[in-house]
Structure 1
Amino acid sequence: MAQRHFEGKDHVESYQRHRVSPPQELIDEVLNFLRKRINTDLDLAVDVGCGSGQGTELLAPYFLTVVGTDISPAQLKIASDKDHPANICYRESPAEDLPFEDSIADLVSSMSAAHWFDHPRFLQEVDRILKPGGCLALLSYTMDFELEYGESTSKLNNICEEFYAALHPFRKAYIGSSSLQVYKNIYDSISYADKEWHECLKSRRIMPLSKFIGLVETFSTYQGFLEKDPVKAKKLSKTITDRLLEAMGASSTDTELTVIVKYFYILASKPRKS
């Protein structure tokens, strides 16, 4: 059974403000893989577990229609209410029961969401709705972001390691101790012979310290801590923020630094009928 998370109002709003979208380089990798297998116009992309649509919008220039699906009405409301390309629409749907006809989609994608799905049932649905030659793209990133800020870089990353370690006990049992391993298991279970595993595409993002802290606070680990003990969770976040500021020699969380996001991804193509 799929897991339900990211549905509380405050969490949804924070998710929209702070979560990072995949870099264009990664979207290009997906499209290059797809275009080597489908050389006609691209009609439909389905982005599963789309959340508030940050990643869904990146697909819009390349497809006639893009449909984002999610089980969270709150996430979908934000996605639908904000300005978005006219060829995008959103539907409430579980990943394991997608509201599409058979053999209709050129691409099925999921960006930082597939670890929550019921993987066998999701992959069955992917196989059902993909056209022959159509592609599956599962993208995600590790949660151990690295920071760069001049001579303070090493100190900042030592502090971040403490932050991540303090949150790790609050990982949901469903996804185990490693998201990377979850995706490797999904990769192994994909029946298509034409599939690729890619690891450690690094994306550098310049952002204020406040956005980095807000990003970590959207993690399910921090949210689990917040649910269990709000006082201690908020105290941890403030303590880490203060220590990072001190290490940077800065006084404001508006101070910008570089955040390194490490992506991994799966690409797979449904066989054409013989």
Structure 2
Amino acid sequence: MAYRHFEGKEQASSYWKHRFPPSDHLIQQLLDFVEKQKGGPYELAVDVGCGPGRGTALLAKHFASVVGLDVSPAQIEVALQRSKEPNITFRQSVAEELPFADSSVDLVTSMSAFHWFDRQRFLQEVHRVLKPRGCLALFGFHNDIELNYSNCCSHTLSQIIKEFCAALKAHRIAHIGPYHMNLYKEAYESIPYPGKEWHEHVLVKRTMTLFKIMRMMETYGDYQAVLSDDPQKATRLTQDVKQRLMSVMGVTSMETEVEVVTTYFYLVACKPQEV
């Protein structure tokens, strides 16, 4: 079965404000794979589990038409409010029943949502809707992040984040397991296409305030599970990590900027040309 999360209006708004899509560099690596395996024309791309559509927007300038799908009406509502690209549409849909004809889609993506799906059914649907030589791309990232701040021990800061994430894991839904990257790697190994690639350690650097970092981590599924099970514990965990980070850095403001290094992983695969 699929698991449904981030469906309320507050979560959808927070997702838009504080979650980041894959970087332009990662999207370009995907497009390079599509060009190598398929080439043009680039007619239709579908982003499944699109949330508020920030990742969906990255595809708009490369495809004639882009469709973002999400099971949550609230996420679709935010996506429609925020979308500016005329060639993007958003529709409510489950991942396991894609609303497209057989062999009609050039690219299917899912950016940090695949682990919530009924994965086998989703991959079967992807195979059905992809055109011959059409491509699939699944992105994910590790919750643990590395923090770098001038004149400060990066290892200590990153260890604080690691301990915070470890405390959240006790509330993780069994459907995902202890390391959600394994679900993506298992999918890669199960896909029978000869043209496919697995990338496990892609670093993306951004500059963010401590406030933004904490709000981003509060969008994680693990944190949302703690918030649902024990709101007081969730508050204690965030207050503790904020105080520890500021103490180590020697600052008093959560608006202090630091470099954030996120580790992404992804798979890309090309459906073979049918005889």
Structure 1 residue 84: deviation in Å?
Answer: 2.1
Q: Which residue of 2 aligns with 1:76?
A: 76
Structure 1 residue 85: deviation in Å?
Answer: 0.5
TM-score by length of 2: 0.97
Structure 1 residue 151: deviation in Å?
Answer: 3.1
Q: Which residue of 2 aligns with 1:8?
A: 8
Q: Which runs of 5+ in 1 are unaligned?
A: none
Tell me, in whole angstroms, the C-alpha distance in 1 between the residues paired with 2:63 and 2:174: 37
TM-score by length of 1: 0.98
Q: Which residue of 1 aligns with 2:143?
A: 143
1:191-206 equivalences in 2 (<5 Å) = 191-206=192-207
Aligned amino acid, residue 97 of structure 1? E
Tell me, in whole angstroms, the C-alpha distance in 1 between the residues paired with 2:39 and 2:47: 21
Q: Which residue of 1 aligns with 2:224?
A: 223
Aligned amino acid, residue 198 of structure 2? W
Q: Which residue of 2 aligns with 1:214?
A: 215
Structure 1 residue 181 corresponds to structure 2 residue 182: yes
Q: Secondary structure, in 3 states, of the residue corresponding to 1:36?
A: helix
Tell me, in whole angstroms, the C-alpha distance in 1 between the residues paired with 2:102 and 2:140: 26
Aligned amino acid, residue 46 of structure 1? V
Tell me, in whole angstroms, the C-alpha distance in 1 between the residues paired with 2:158 and 2:120: 37
CA offsets per residue over residues 170-222 of structure 1, 9 Å max, x none? 11110000011111111111121211111111000101100100111111111
1:43-122 equivalences in 2 (<5 Å) = 43-122=43-122
Q: Retained in 1: the 8 A contact 2:145–2:162?
A: no
What is the percentage of aligned positions where both structures have the same residue? Answer: 49
Tell me, in whole angstroms, the C-alpha distance in 1 between the residues paired with 2:60 and 2:203: 23
Structure 1 residue 163 corresponds to structure 2 residue 164: yes
Q: Which residue of 2 aligns with 1:21?
A: 21
CA offsets per residue over residues 110-167 of structure 1, 9 Å max, x none? 0000011111110111011101001000011111111111232222112112111111
Structure 1 residue 238: deviation in Å?
Answer: 1.0
Aligned amino acid, residue 166 of structure 2? A
Give the count of matched residue pairs.
Answer: 274
Tell me, in whole angstroms, the C-alpha distance in 2 between the residues paired with 1:242 and 1:83: 37
Structure 1 residue 229: deviation in Å?
Answer: 1.1
Q: Secondary structure, in 3 states, of the residue corresponding to 1:158?
A: helix
Q: Which residue of 1 aligns with 2:40?
A: 40
Q: Which residue of 2 aligns with 1:259?
A: 260
Q: Secondary structure, in 3 states, of the residue corresponding to 1:61?
A: coil
Tell me, in whole angstroms, the C-alpha distance in 1 between the residues paired with 2:49 and 2:10: 19
Aligned amino acid, residue 108 of structure 1? V
Q: Retained in 1: the 8 A contact 2:111–2:139?
A: yes
Q: Which runs of 5+ in 2 are unaligned?
A: none
Structure 1 residue 39: deviation in Å?
Answer: 2.5
C-alpha RMSD of matched pairs (Å): 1.0
Structure 1 residue 38: deviation in Å?
Answer: 2.2
CA offsets per residue over residues 243-262 of structure 1, 9 Å max, x none? 10111111111110011110
Tell me, in whole angstroms, the C-alpha distance in 2 between the residues paired with 1:83 and 1:262: 27
Give the ranges of 4+ consecutive aligned residues of structure 1 lying more than 3 Å apart after TM superposition. none
Structure 1 residue 8: deviation in Å?
Answer: 2.2
Q: Secondary structure, in 3 states, of the residue corresponding to 2:85?
A: coil
Structure 1 residue 78: deviation in Å?
Answer: 0.3
Structure 1 residue 36: deviation in Å?
Answer: 1.3
